[in-house]
Chains A and B, each alone.
Chain A
């Protein structure tokens, strides 16, 4: 299934449509086992937690770049300028690819992204040759503006990060997916495998999960459950879900009605 339906971001193929974060795990070993179990090929790394001047950095040395694309994120940045500088430092270190998950979160509680600052930072980073994957609130207009400045994907949140509440912003996510010509990765707030399946059924191109896996009693099993849920949701989407719209369509052709 996945081999015939790859996700392509900036020319790179991803067989798995599940991306993982590397924070909040109890240990490096549990994190690594969970990443492998999830089948993820893209994992995010918080730049503020790594020592870019030390190639033997604990986190980076534990992530095999042959297995995963390591996607550095700018978490902790409160302004566009901070995010841009962090991205440049990441690129300059030569330890990480010139891809960046752009996060600009001016308030530390809900970590909601600042759309205006994100757009400004994205514009700068795209011009500098970065592959930019911005974390945004589910704002369809912002998603189009970001697309216009050349970002590789948009990553709207399903509900506030760490909340495990699932697809609370579904109406807006549907509009983003409907209008987008670049991959839409639903990020943040997916608390259960069924949330991930539902996101994929909507037509999301991929999902990113961290808290729900890292804080599960059995993270490895949860990673596997998310993997299967993402695959099932994707297949459901591709298979053409039966309509759930208000006016149900009949199951046999009704053309004869019009000739009456």
Chain B
């Protein structure tokens, strides 16, 4: 059984019971002392019973993050290459129905943005697109990776899932990591939220990270879009997904992101609110369950909250982000994929980190690790 198959077959009723039942205080406290947690332990830590132990959970998360990452925080920058998308995710600012002006950067615009971001000091870029085989398909993304490697040692992708052989092309072009959010692990809800387009295939998306790992990627990032449904349940299954991948693909780095839905006014959707407290509980529970995993927080979150959460479990943050295609150099006015809340520049974020006693890391990769990968 592959991790994706185990996950797809995992009974949501069991997950629901384990994340919502009443646990004794002694049990929760014992988990804070335990060195290696099972997924059942993790489910208990995201339950309402663990909520009242948030200070203790946070203290443990803080100490584990310090042990494994020291006083460093990794920084990266996203670049949106294209907003063209044939999917209809009902919560998204790029969905086809919104009829936003279609923009796909040409090579010159891509390179201009790379040059700008590289000059700022970034060594890790995350390239993003909507899903449009016609305007920004595999050839386009492959070319963008090749160009990016002239400027950045570490290139990761947040693009639509592809076949193993297409992931192999991305890896051969020099891409190092992929991020693929499942959005939700609730299959019924998933179908409702993704009614049309290739993204409506739940299992093809779920298997994406595995295909990427089989194709030679070293790092995969997972996430759910928090706010689409009950965060305890989705968060628990996200943790299970990360754990299963880590166990099978033992050479891979599994990272987890915590995007909370930022509504775009034109795309109404019933949102299940995820409070700051809930987000903190989820992040701390992940740190206890996966002590060495990179945990990422984007500029969707406010300056204040980001400043606080980097002290608990977060190890990777973006900075100076613009969610409009080529927005760093185009001065565009069309809407982005979502509204960023933390609009500080890279240097502001670096200064904040330094003030709070962290060393901002911009480069943590050697391109010598790239080509050897393809042959191994």
Interface positions of A (Cβ within 8 A of B) = 23-28, 47-51, 76-79, 81-82, 85-86, 89, 106-110, 162-164, 211, 214-215
Contact = CB atoms under 8 A, between A and B. Distances in A.
Contact of B358 (A26, A48, A50, A78): A26
A27 B358 CA distance: 7
A48 B357 CA distance: 22
Contacts of A49: 361, 363-364
Nearest to B68: A162
Nearest to B290: A109
Interface string B130-171: 000000000000000000000000000000000000000000
Interface stretch (B6-14, B41-49, B85-93, B247-255): B247-255
Interface in B195-238: 218
Contact of A79 (B361, B363, B364, B376): B376
Nearest to B375: A81
Interface string B49-93: 000000000000000001111111000000000000000000000
Given A76-B366, A86-B366, A214 B372 contact: no
A220 to B, nearest CB: 14
A163 B67 contact: yes
B368 A164 contact: no
B368 A211 contact: no
B253 A82 contact: no
B151 to A, nearest CB: 13
A155 to B, nearest CB: 20
A79 to B, nearest CB: 6
Contact of B70 (A25, A77, A82, A106): A25
A89 B368 contact: yes
A200 B72 CA distance: 30
22 contacts: A23-B72, A24-B70, A26-B357, A27-B357, A48-B365, A48-B366, A48-B369, A49-B361, A76-B366, A78-B251, A78-B376, A79-B372, A81-B376, A85-B372, A86-B366, A89-B368, A108-B253, A108-B292, A162-B68, A164-B67, A215-B66, A215-B71
Contacts of B251: 78, 106-108
B246 interface: yes
Interface residues of B, number: 27
Given A26-B357, A76-B365, 10 more contacts: A25-B72, A28-B359, A79-B376, A81-B372, A82-B368, A109-B246, A109-B292, A162-B67, A214-B71, A215-B71
Interface of B: 66-72, 218, 246, 250-253, 292, 354, 357-359, 361, 363-366, 368-369, 372, 376
Contacts of A23: 70, 72
Contacts of A214: 70-71
Contacts of B69: 24
B53 to A, nearest CB: 24
B366 A108 contact: no
Contacts of B70: 23-25, 211, 214-215
A108 B252 contact: yes
B365 A25 contact: no
Nearest to B363: A49
Nearest to B63: A215
A24 B71 contact: yes
Contacts of B365: 48, 76
A215 B67 contact: yes
Contact of B72 (A24, A51, A81): A24
A76 B69 CA distance: 14
B368 A85 contact: yes
A77 B369 contact: yes
A81 to B, nearest CB: 5
Contact of A107 (B68, B72, B250, B376): B250
A49 to B, nearest CB: 6
A25 B359 contact: yes
Given A25-B359, A26-B358, A109-B246, A47 B71 contact: no
A76 B251 CA distance: 11
A82 B66 contact: no
B267 to A, nearest CB: 37
Contacts of A109: 246, 292
Candidate in B292, B354, B359, B376 with the most chain A CB atoms within 10 angstroms: B359
Highest count of chain B CB atoms <10 Å: which of A28, A77, A82, A211: A82
Contacts of A85: 368, 372
A37 B188 CA distance: 61
A27 B359 contact: yes
A197 to B, nearest CB: 21
A49 B72 CA distance: 12
A27 B360 CA distance: 9
B69 to A, nearest CB: 7
Contacts of A107: 250-251
A215 to B, nearest CB: 5
Nearest to A24: B70
